[in-house]
Amino acid sequence: MTALCSQGNERMDKIIIEGSQRLKGELEISGAKNAVLPVMAAMILTAGLNKITGVPRVRDVTTMLHLLNDLGGRTEEFEEDRISLDTTDINNYEAPYDLVSTMRASCLVLGPLLARLGKAKVSLPGGCAIGARPLDLHIRGLEAMGAEIKLEKGYIYGSVERLQGTRYYFDTVSVTGTANLMMAATLAEGETVLENVAKEPEVVFLADVLNKCGAKIEGQGTDIMVIQGVSALKPIECRIFPDRIETGTYMIASAITGGDVNIINCIPSQVETLTLKLRQAGVIVEEAATSIRVIGDGPFNGVNLKTQPHPGFATDLQAQFMALMTLARGQSIILETVFENRFMHAAELNRMGANITVQGHTAVVSGVKRLSGAPLMATDLRASASLVLAALAAEGESIISRVYHIDRGYFGMEKKLSRLGAKIRRKK
Ligand code: UD1
């Protein structure tokens, strides 16, 4: 088995990019990070050997695997894109601060632990670069299911005899909130109705995977899900679908460099909103069954954009799209409605010569003729990706530090981009 955690060494890595190279060729998309993490947490609901393939080998997956092993799971295999994990002996119920603070998605174990062990101690993640991101919706939902929850010394302590079915309305659409309560409800007693749930493909996928294990979930992909609790679930066997945010990031990479990239192993319908926006800007996007060709032919125009829960424009692609808009003809108004502080990349892009003004939830991007390379600082996963995209298009050299953010969610980014002709390398 490959070493699970080697966090420390790569923290100082930098990515160096010599810009102004037109990307050309074919690029393959890896499995979806945000699909695999909840599926891994769902393994806690089972007692046996779980097997998943199509796993992207990114840092967040390693962190989740580490957490599952701490809880008493046993990794049987973690090779290439495969993970097998035996959950027979899950008996520990603590997700400690050092793991949760590096990956907020660790909170996905809260619902499954309460359902399986009747106990959970999960660190509160605290704020992060893109906003406060509380867990109040998760907590209130689990309380509605009969769990007793206490917040003490930065931890959520939960206990319950057996979770009970309930009716719960999410005041705000929450992706991991929906996943957490849905997972908990699969093993609860009776019927749970969840209203105003997330409709992201990753949530629908999780519901389908759980149903194959014996869960009774209906309504995934709509606003209301109804879950009939069962007494046990069979171990998971599934293949993770391609990452739509990685797909979108490389679509924008092709557009911003005036490139011609054929992106294979992707699901075009999952990035439709981005496709529409790119076309509106004047970028050529050709869709096939499992591939998308993006041609950045000539100048493109500024277009307005508003992030929203799925099927709206994904907040996880906002930063990358903003990088593109810095070089558009005219103005683009970008409204971020999902997170309250997700414009950290704007200041870095301005240091490259972009013209972005941020006020509250709105960024006004006035297109400039060129960007210039600069030393840059990555602040979160998707903001880092936007800096890479801007650096690919900029004149001269950019040095991006804190690239461990990129490693959390993009598998082999430098390799994938170099194969397309980018001059990109990592300095250890
Ligand atoms: C997930 C994704 C993340 C993406 C986000 C929005 C994973 C692992 N992560 O994050 O990549 O950017 O969806 O598409 O899938 N909120 C509350 N209280 C809560 C929970 C959320 O107020 O208890 C708020 C958040 O602060 C935010 C909004 O709800 O403003 C949406 O957040 P949410 O959908 O929960 O994001 P995550 O599930 O954390």
Which of the listed residues 239, 264, 289 is the one where a domain comes to its end?
A: 239
Q: Are residues 305 and 349 in the same domain?
A: yes
3-state helix, strand, coil in the chain (%, to 5): 35, 30, 35
- Percentage of residues of the chain with pLDDT beyond 90: 89
Does 1 map to a domain? no
Query: What is the whole-number distance in angstroms between the Cα of residue 178 and the centre of ligand 1?
Result: 10
Distance separating alpha carbons of residues 240 and 55, to the nearest angstrom:
6
Condensed to tens digits (0 to 9), the pLDDT of residues 191-205 reads 999 999 999 999 999
Domains: count for the chain: 2
Q: Are residues 410 and 281 in the same domain?
A: yes
- Percentage of residues of the chain with pLDDT beyond 70: 96
128 flagged as catalytic:
yes
Ligand 1 pocket member 217 (CB < 6 A): no
Average of per-residue pLDDT across 224-229: 98
Q: Is 273 helix (H, G, I), strand (E, B) or coil?
A: helix
Report whether 156 contacts 139 (CB < 8 A).
yes
Does 182 map to a domain? yes
Q: Are residues 345 and 420 in the same domain?
A: yes
Residue 5 pLDDT > 90 = no
Closest CA to 317 of 257, 275, 369: 275
Ligand 1 pocket member 416 (CB < 6 A): no
**Residue reference for tokens 């990031």:** 249
Does 308 map to a domain? yes
Output the average pLDDT for the chain.
95
Which DSSP string do the residues of 113-141 spell out, in sequence order?
A: HHHHHSEEEEE----BTTB----HHHHHH
Strand partners, 217: 227
Task: Give the contacts of 358 (CB within 8 A, at least 6 positions apart).
Answer: 343, 346, 364
Does 2 map to a domain? no
The pLDDT value recorded for residue 6 is 41
Residue 4 pLDDT > 70 = no
Average of per-residue pLDDT across 183-188: 98
Pocket-testing residue among 34, 108, 133, 321, ligand 1, by greatest number of atoms within 8 A of Cβ: 133
Residue 3 pLDDT > 50 = no
Condensed to tens digits (0 to 9), the pLDDT of residues 6-17 reads 444 566 899 999
Distance separating alpha carbons of residues 47 and 293, to the nearest angstrom:
43
The pLDDT value recorded for residue 128 is 62
Closest CA to 361 of 344, 374, 343: 343
Does 336 map to a domain? yes
Q: Are residues 162 and 281 in the same domain?
A: no
Average of per-residue pLDDT across 398-418: 94
Distance separating alpha carbons of residues 380 and 377, to the nearest angstrom:
10
Which of the listed residues 207, 239, 271 is the one where a domain comes to its end?
A: 239
Q: Are residues 219 and 259 in the same domain?
A: no
Cα four-point dihedral sign 96, 97, 103, 104: positive
Which of the listed residues 214, 239, 264 is the one where a domain comes to its end?
A: 239
Does 145 map to a domain? yes
Distance separating alpha carbons of residues 17 and 401, to the nearest angstrom:
12
Q: Are residues 275 and 177 in the same domain?
A: no
Q: Are residues 302 and 420 in the same domain?
A: yes
**Residue reference for tokens 């309460």:** 114
Active-site option among 107, 128, 238, 266: 128
Does 118 map to a domain? yes
The DSSP secondary-structure symbol of 9 reads G
Q: Are residues 200 and 146 in the same domain?
A: yes
The pLDDT value recorded for residue 168 is 98
pLDDT band at residue 278, thresholds of 50, 70 and 90? very high
Residue 360 has a CB neighbour count (10 Å cut-off) of 9
Residue 1 pLDDT > 60 = no
Q: Where are the alpha helices (DSSP H) in 376-423?
A: 381-393, 404-409, 413-419
Cα four-point dihedral sign 51, 56, 59, 64: negative
Alpha-carbon Rg for the chain, nearest whole angstrom, is 21
**Token pair of 154 as six digits:** 């930065």
Question: Range of 323's domain?
Answer: 7-30+242-427
Condensed to tens digits (0 to 9), the pLDDT of residues 134-159 reads 899 999 999 999 999 999 999 999 99
**How large is the angle between the packed helices 110-117 and 175-186, nearest 10 degrees?**
10
HSE toward the beta carbon, residue 253, CA cutoff 13 A: 32
Ligand 1 pocket member 422 (CB < 6 A): no
Residue 341 pLDDT > 90 = no
Report whether 350 contacts 374 (CB < 8 A).
no
Report whether 149 contacts 157 (CB < 8 A).
yes
Q: Are residues 198 and 267 in the same domain?
A: no
Query: What is the whole-number distance in angstroms between the Cα of residue 177 and the centre of ligand 1?
Result: 7
Q: Are residues 220 and 268 in the same domain?
A: no
The domain that holds 278 is classified in CATH as: 3.65.10.10
**Strand boundaries in 61-215, DSSP class E:** 74-79, 82-86, 94-95, 119-123, 148-152, 155-159, 167-169, 191-195
Q: Are residues 264 and 381 in the same domain?
A: yes
Residue nearest to ligand 1 atom 34, measured at CA: 174
pLDDT band at residue 131, thresholds of 50, 70 and 90? low
231 CA to centre of own chain: 31
Q: Cis bond leading into 112, ω under 30°?
A: no
Q: Are residues 25 and 42 in the same domain?
A: no
